[in-house]
Amino acid sequence: MPQFLKEFFNRNGTGMGLAILGLVLFWTIGLIILPQLSMLDFSFRPNLPPPEIGGPKDVYTLENYKYLIYGPEGGSQDYNTVDLRVFFRTLVAAVCVTIFNLIICYPIAYYLGQSEGSHIRIFAIMLIIPYWINEILRAFALRIIFGETGVLNTLFLGLGVWDTPFDFIRNDIALYAGLGYAYILLMIFPMYNVIESLDKNQIEAARDLGAPWWRIHWRVVIPYAKPGISSGCTMVFMLSAGALAAPQILGGPSSLWFTQLIYQQFNDNNDWPQGAAYAIVLLVTCILFVLAVMRLFKVNMGDIGK
């Protein structure tokens, strides 16, 4: 038995040690690693009816990935423009949502992190409450607001800002607002945690030296809060790129989200390998993108989730 395991069982006792080890292995291997590998494997297989699985036709193939790029065989177009466009639009929109969230959340995180008093607790509760409400209901709430006869249109029509109802949904404004809304907390909390630990004297010192407020943020607060910012951005980006509920409810008919394509492959076309391949493409692209951006801004992986 390796030294590590021996010490582990010494510290925890045999029974407790086995329970801890068993649960951790079940989680990491049974729930995290093997399913992902299984999905990867699946994405390289043809879509076969159950009796033929494991039969002679069950061979590895790149078919599912080719489909995303070239579309169906003998299709009219050279490339699968529809799916590819959805894919890139999803990534770009997720980046936009992330930036939008970062901009609106940074002042709040800074304010909460650097102020004192009992009202901060109330703000914190007010921040958390929407997050406790069902994701679908949050999207639903925005649909009520952005609908053609929704609150905003009623308000602006009443004020005479515009005279025909503005279609927020078709113009994707509802979708972006909804995605931003859904992940505000995930952006604020990592930033708040870091900014809270920033010594107020540092800011005071910078102010004493005559630095204008934007320079204080640029040179002192933002560099310090970088781990929190990157943590929040990573989470918001990954989650909005992988969002399904908000696009389904708030998205216009012409603005598919890539996850919706995956959903369609699974539930409507019943083509699991194809869906798995799309899921792999989404996962790998997002991870590579995040890693690239993190390298660009010189952030460590270990800072995520703190």
Q: How far is the CB of 51 from another protein (least distance, A)?
A: 11
**Contact indicator for 52, 58 with CB cutoff of 8 Å:** yes
Distance CA 239, CA 123 (A): 24
Distance CA 12, CA 8 (A): 6
Residue 2 has, within 13 A of its CA and on its CB side, a CA count of 2
Q: How far is the CB of 57 from another protein (least distance, A)?
A: 16
Return the number of the residue (74 or 158) whose C-beta is nearest another protein.
Answer: 158
Which residues have a Cβ under 8 Å from the Cβ of 167 and sit 6 or more positions away? 148, 252
Q: How far is the CB of 77 from another protein (least distance, A)?
A: 23
**Exposed, middle or buried: residue 276 (CB in 10 Å: 0-12, 13-18, 19+)?**
buried
Return the number of the residue (27 or 79) whose C-beta is nearest another protein.
Answer: 27
Q: How far is the CB of 268 from another protein (least distance, A)?
A: 11
**Interaxial angle between packed helices 272-296 and 34-43, expressed in degrees from 0 to 180 and rounded to the nearest 10:** 120
Nearest to 255 by CA among 139, 176, 165: 176
Q: How far is the CB of 267 from another protein (least distance, A)?
A: 8
Look up tokens 């994405």; give the residue: 43
Return the number of the residue (225 or 278) whose C-beta is nearest another protein.
Answer: 278
**Contact indicator for 167, 253 with CB cutoff of 8 Å:** no
Return the number of the residue (79 or 215) whose C-beta is nearest another protein.
Answer: 215
Q: How far is the CB of 78 from another protein (least distance, A)?
A: 28
Return the number of the residue (92 or 133) whose C-beta is nearest another protein.
Answer: 133
Q: How far is the CB of 62 from another protein (least distance, A)?
A: 18
Q: How far is the CB of 74 from another protein (least distance, A)?
A: 27
Which residues have a Cβ under 8 Å from the Cβ of 30 and sit 6 or more positions away? none
Question: Could you tell me the CA-to-CA distances from 273 to 55, 90, 125, 191, 295 in Å, in that order?
Answer: 16, 21, 43, 39, 32
**Contact indicator for 64, 44 with CB cutoff of 8 Å:** yes
Return the number of the residue (194 or 243) whose C-beta is nearest another protein.
Answer: 243
Return the number of the residue (36 or 79) whose C-beta is nearest another protein.
Answer: 36
Look up tokens 């407790």; give the residue: 16
Return the number of the residue (46 or 147) whose C-beta is nearest another protein.
Answer: 147
